[in-house]
Amino acid sequence: MVNRIRKKLTEKQEKVLKTIEDFVLAYGYSPTIRQLGELLNIANPSAVFKHILSLEKKGYLTRDRGEISLQGFPSSVGAQVKVPLVGLVPAGYPRESFDLSGEAVDVPDWMVGRKRGNIFCIQVDGKSMVDAYIDDGDRVLVERTNSASSGEMVVAFLDDDSVTLKRLRIENESVFLVPENPEFEPIRVKELRVLGRVIGVLRKY
């Protein structure tokens, strides 16, 4: 490994870097140039990009296809937090299965960020979400929420009080919980009751 000597930052560059770090901790991914500009109250994207280039030249970040990666960011060296493991949730044919296990799992800090007190983990039972790269036995990180947008993957109660993991789709005021596997059929629900939305997947090979 080659150690790079970082040059001292200006006050403005420190602010830009801190803003990027805060965004990554909160959301688990880097901001776009436009998002960064809004956070910094800089209207000109070119001005924001110049700050990014300066931070890159000084060794504080790298860019790959527009994605910003922070160099030496604490969460990238293996920082872990414990997240409660909550029962088995079917990603197949729904059934009642949503219980506290009393266990916890170690999760990379960057996946949780500032939401750590509002995150739980479920172990998937079923193959209805395999085309979304969520397979039987995978552990999925879920943010507690009672609302979600169409297109998001959610853990939801069905009308019979069973629990399932599916993608939410809202069309013409109709609500569907849609599998990501052609062998399974979408589920139309009368009353949407969301327990949380999926923010990440944990898998061991």
From first to last of its 205 residues, the chain has per-residue pLDDT tens of: 333 445 678 889 889 988 888 777 666 677 888 889 999 999 898 999 999 998 888 888 887 766 777 765 544 435 677 888 887 777 777 765 556 566 788 887 777 766 667 888 888 888 999 898 888 888 898 988 888 889 999 999 888 878 899 999 998 888 999 999 999 999 999 888 898 999 888 876 5
pTM, rounded to two decimals: 0.58
Q: Which of 164, 79, 150 is nearest to 122 (CA)?
A: 164
How far is C-alpha 132 from the geometric centre of its chain's CA atoms? 14
Which residue ranges form the domains of the chain, and what is each CATH number?
Answer: 11-71 (1.10.10.10), 80-202 (2.10.109.10)
The yes-or-no answer on residue 128 being catalytic is yes
Can you list the positions of beta strands (E) in 71-186?
Answer: 80-90, 100-108, 119-125, 139-144, 153-157, 163-171, 174-178
**Among the options 30, 54, 128, 204, which is catalytic?**
128
Task: Tell me if residue 12 is catalytic.
Answer: no
What is the C-alpha to C-alpha distance for residues 154 and 166, in angstroms, rounded to an integer? 6
Catalytic residue, candidates 82, 166, 174, 204: 166
